[in-house]
Structure 1
Amino acid sequence: MIAVVMFSGGLFIGMAISDSDSSEPPAASEESSSSPAESETTASPKPALPPAEPNPMEAAIDSCASDSDRITLADDGNTIVAEGIGIDGETDESIEQLVCVLVYLGAPDSLFAHLDSTRAIDGRQEDEFGEYTAAWTFHPDDGVNMTITTN
C-alpha cells in the first residue's frame, strides 16, 4: 500500500493506493515478533498542518507599500490606512502604492472609477468589494485619505 498526502489550497487531501485487487485489508502475519507496544512507537507521524495563510492586508502592504510612511497597517492587520495620497495633485509613489494595494486586494474597476471621480464637495465615499470596505475622502490640499477594513 502506498499512502499519498497532498496539500492543495491549504486543504489536506489524503488517499491510499493499494497494489492488491482484494477489497479486504491485508491479514496480520502470525510470525510477527513485534508487540502492539512496539508497533505504536513505530507508527508514522501525522502529517504537519500546512502553514497558515498570510493575512491578505499584510501581504498587500509587504508587496506594494512596505517602505511607505503614508500607507500603513492597523488594527492587528484588519485595516489599511492611507493618508495624504497625491497631495496638491502631485503624482508620487504613494499613488502607485495605493493602486497596487487595491489591485492586490481585488478591488474592481468600478471602485477606481468612483475614486477617480470623487470631488472635495462629495464628502466621505465608500465602496464594498469582496471581503473589504474602502472609505475615503479627497481634497486637493489633503489628497486622498482612505481606510480599507475587513468586513
Structure 2
Amino acid sequence: MAVAAIVVIGALVAFLALRDTSTRLEKAAKACSVSGVIDDEGHTLSLRRVAAKEDPGRVSLVDYECVLGELAVPRAVKDHMGSTRALDGTQTDEWDGLKARWTYHPDDGISMTITEN
C-alpha cells in the first residue's frame, strides 16, 4: 500500500512539473517563433508595425497571419481587421475570451494588442 501511494504521489508530482502552464497567447507566439511580444504574465500579446513601409516591426506579415491562425481568429473578425482603413481609427473585436485592439495605416502598418481575460 505504501509503495502504491509513493508511485501515485510521484506520478502526480511529475505531471504537475511537466504540464504546460503557458497561456494561449504565449503558445501562439512560441508556435509562430515570434519573441518579445508577450507581456503581463502572458496575458497580453503586442504586434507593432506589421507590414509597415518604413521601419517595420520585428513581426512579419507571415508571423502575424500565423498568430491569428494559432489563436483561431474567426473569419468575421479577420474580415473586420482586413477592412480597417486609416480613417477608421482604433478598432476592437472579441472572440473566445480574447480581445483585440488595432490600428492600421498604409505607411505604419498594423499595430495590434490582443489580451486574454
For 2:43, the aligned partner's letter is N
Structure 2: runs of 5 or more not aligned:
none
Is the contact between residue 120 and residue 140 of structure 1 (CA under 8 Å) also seen in structure 2? yes
Structure 1: runs of 5 or more not aligned:
1-38
Bigger relative CO (Cα 8 Å, ≥ 6 apart):
2
Q: Normalized against structure 2, the TM-score is what?
A: 0.79
Q: How many residues are treated as equivalent by the alignment?
A: 108
**Which structure has the highest strand share of the two?**
1
Q: Which residue of 1 aligns with 2:61?
A: 95
1:132 equivalent in alignment to 2:75: no
Of residues 49, 54, 63, the one that matches 2:22 is 54
Q: CA RMSD in A?
A: 2.4
Quote how far apart the aligned CAs of 1:43 are.
4.0
**Which structure has the highest helix share of the two?**
2
Of residues 76, 83, 99, the one that matches 2:48 is 83
For 2:28, the aligned partner's letter is A
Rg comparison, structure with higher value: 1
SS of the aligned residue for 1:87 comes to coil
Q: Normalized against structure 1, the TM-score is what?
A: 0.63
Q: Which residue of 1 aligns with 2:5?
A: 44
SS of the aligned residue for 1:113 comes to helix
